[in-house]
Amino acid sequence: MSVCFKKRAVSCLLSALMVLALAAAPARYAYAAEAAEGAVSISAPSAILLEVSTGKVIYEKDADRICAPASITKIMTLLLIFEALDKGKIKLTDEVITSEHARSMGGSQVFLETGELQTVDTLIKCIAVASGNDAAAAMAEHIAGSEEAFVAMMNQKAQELSMTNTRFEDCCGLTDSDDHHTSARDVAIMSRELVKNYPEVYRYTGIWMEDITHTTARGSSVFTLSSTNKLLKQYQWATGLKTGYTGKAKYCLSATARKDDVELIAVIMSAPDSPSRFADAAALLNYGYSVSALYRDDNREKLLPMKVEGGVEETVDLAYDSGFSYLDVEGNDVEMIQKKIELPESVSAPIRAGDSAGEARYFLNGEQIGSVPILFASSVKKARYRDYLGKIIGSFLL
């Protein structure tokens, strides 16, 4: 078991006052939300802050407000790209041909030429670093055959993730259509899905500047990708993720950061100007780190086998379904969290691998804060007459 514990910044008067208020409040989470509203001030009309491993929301401000996402749309595009890589449908070394449609995207671009070949790896950099609309369209066509088919995949994934305020009409966010929309909460959901399942994306979103080479019929030329995420230089723990701007969407940002193994996502929507979105994100991240204490149990210790009644095997191995994380923002000491294993003394065959055997329950201040299923690691068939006979004979011979 490993515990990652972020100590509070006790010098912060506002945080201290909030903790004292929470200690006296019966509805602790509600009061925590009120304290968050008062402890940090941002200019953007819509925002949200959450922790990645638990998904716990630390702060929100009109987080379900419908907004135009601009290039933050590309977070979903990146998510589908990394899913395709994970499933083996594409490889980083694949060469992608730029179509006339991709070349003509306009807006933020890396100036791909029709017929130009670039690897998937390079195009991911173009999307993540320079927010290339042409690169996003090229990858959409490479994966789905057309941008339209890829957008259908984007909307299907949004439904799977319960992004109830989201609908996409393109793969890059260039459109001004009212039917292309999302919310701060939905952006946080897809951002978390991307970074939690594919942390390798940080190898791209953390790039500040890098050269790529265009090779066309006219020869080769170098093009410098420059990050649109100024937070990478302004905030020491920043790791990504994506900026966005159109006249309709105004200034947007999904900012990721990691400090002392605590990973946060701050989403800013419809900020009035570019400096404000970065200042708002930094303020939210600082607030999050000032109040957050993360408890993590990897559940890697070996569990004792369970006795099996009436099976071909006398015992069955057990395994945790997953690790456990808990984020406290209410001033509790997470080192006081207790773990209790609840299992029966034995189980009757037949047993199927993956079925529930019991659970590990976690408690803080006498209240359960979560649990993790404990599963059977293998299957055990029910013993028949010949199995018992075989055991008797084997025991006699021994």
* The pair of three-digit structure tokens given for residue 306, joined into one six-digit string: 């369970």
Q: Strand, helix or coil at 273?
A: coil
Burial of 67 (0-12, 13-18, 19+ CB in 10 A): buried
Whether 74 is catalytic is yes
CA distance 300 to 298: 6
Of 74, 157, 242, 259, catalytic: 74
* Lookup: tokens for 389: 């006979």
Q: How distant, in Å, are the alpha carbons of 44, 135, 266, 273, 286 from that of 184?
A: 11, 25, 9, 17, 19
Catalytic-labelled residue, pool 15, 46, 53, 71: 71
Task: Specify whether 230 is catalytic.
Answer: no
| Encoded amino acid at 2, one letter | S
The total of other beta-carbon atoms located within 10 Å of residue 9's CB is 12
Backbone φ and ψ for 195, nearest 5 degrees, come out as: -75, -30
Instruction: Judge contact between 286 and 238, C-beta under 8 A.
Output: no
From CA 17, how far away is CA 142, in angstroms rounded? 54
Q: Are residues 248 and 176 in contact, defined by beta-carbon separation less than 8 angstroms?
A: yes
Length of the chain: 398
Residues linked to residue 315 through DSSP beta bridges, in sequence order: 307
Q: Give the number of other CB atoms < 10 A from CB of residue 391.
A: 13
Q: Is 196 a catalytic residue?
A: no
Number of H helices, E strands in the chain: 12, 18
User: What φ, ψ does residue 97 adopt, rounded to 5°?
Assistant: -90, 130
Tokens (6 digits) for 64: 């379900």
- What tokens appear for 321 in the block? 């379904």
Q: Which of 227, 225, 233, 275 is nearest to 251 (CA)?
A: 275
First to last CA, the chain: 41
Q: Which residues are catalytic?
A: 71, 74, 131
